[in-house]
Chain A
């Protein structure tokens, strides 16, 4: 009888351990890129990012994705041009992957190694600093990723034959919640 109960006992003991893996979900976000031109300073903003983080054995793997076409700069012509130069129809998603230690959730700052898939290219950014604020069970993360057009082999779009600067920092403002 005891032998028959043993597997059930083991399952009952181990099940909570498996369930102890945390999952984080991106509740809301504002991502904005900044492009500089002698005549223009442009910001394209998106609130359409979705993200998920899965923690397992002390490590959390995060994936954040946002449709390229969801960025709005306030000018439909410029947005279509950005969509074209970034090959947004061929590669419709920007994806960011990172892995963080589970202990980072209690920090007020964190540095993340990011892998970004964009415009058919993959770029890596090491030790990008972010601020973390905790409100209840929500984690509010802000920071700027120092991306550049050349990192993704994007030809700088030009206005009046003058190209924009290569630097295209992306400002991140995200709120995560445990699932």
Chain B
């Protein structure tokens, strides 16, 4: 029991140290963030942001930074109308509903004619993005999807890092397995194998968590080496569940002075297949075949 608690604490501490996810205090105030762009998708700095409370008519003001981003904190829950404006242009008003403690991301676009980027020429004949026939849906910024992509990448970076770390105790487990099932009467090598196997399992669990929980991007079809990587997870995933169960049975049999028999004798082969699939999954996304 104490070893289970120890492992749990270790896993939690490791998770905290590696992931360093900030913990946000719960707050009743809502926050509005977003980006202001011109017709070409370029960020527009120093733009006034007006956030008008639809119920009271009161307005809060903010200004975009050098990257066109803005943040309006400490807003009460309710309906708001948001407008971005500069001396020469303004966006169409956008309505948002804020919930207590929540946050919203907005994308505001200034009218095109007053915000052309500094093109090499400024002749009236110069073609525009609209001339090329792109629909607004294709050319419009989507701050929500960007946030989703950012979160996905953040989680998959941790997944990748944890996967690499997991290979160390996994290889050590395989190496120590050579003595763990031997005829020696001592239990030290077996205990070391168990400890390394448990560490591998914990790290693998964290690695898997960050892959499974990473947001899916709608409309994306999986293709290429990542498809092989995912298929292999269906081998090493169940294997990582079966291996410690079979190992625990084998461990008990050995401790009772019995020869490993029955289903427990599959522990070694299952572990080898699992480790092999894990290594192949890692290689699938690392090396171009």
Contacts and interface: CB of A to CB of B under 8 A. Distances in A.
- The residue in B41, B223, B285 that gathers the most chain A C-beta atoms within 10 A of its C-beta is B41
Interface stretch (A8-16, A76-84, A131-139, A164-172): A76-84
Contacts of B143: 89-90
A10 to B, nearest CB: 22
A46 to B, nearest CB: 13
Given A80-B220, A113-B120, A160-B164, A93 B128 contact: no
Interface string B92-135: 00000000000000010000000001111101011111011110
A95 B129 contact: yes
Interface in A46-62: 50-56, 59, 61-62
B37 interface: yes
Contacts of B5: none
Contacts of A159: 160, 285-286
B186 interface: no
Interface residues of B, number: 55
A132 B166 CA distance: 53
Nearest to B149: A84
- The residue in A42, A83, A92 that gathers the most chain B C-beta atoms within 10 A of its C-beta is A92
Contacts of A120: 37, 41-43, 67-68
Interface string B249-289: 00000000000000000000000000000000000011110
Q: How large is the interface on A (under 10, 10 to 19, 20 to 34, 35 or more residues)?
A: 35 or more
B121 A67 contact: no
Given A51-B132, A91-B141, A92-B141, A84 B127 contact: no
Contacts of A113: 120
Interface of B: 35, 37, 40-43, 67-68, 107, 117-121, 123, 125-129, 131-134, 138-143, 145-146, 148-150, 152-153, 156, 160-161, 164, 217, 220-227, 229, 285-288
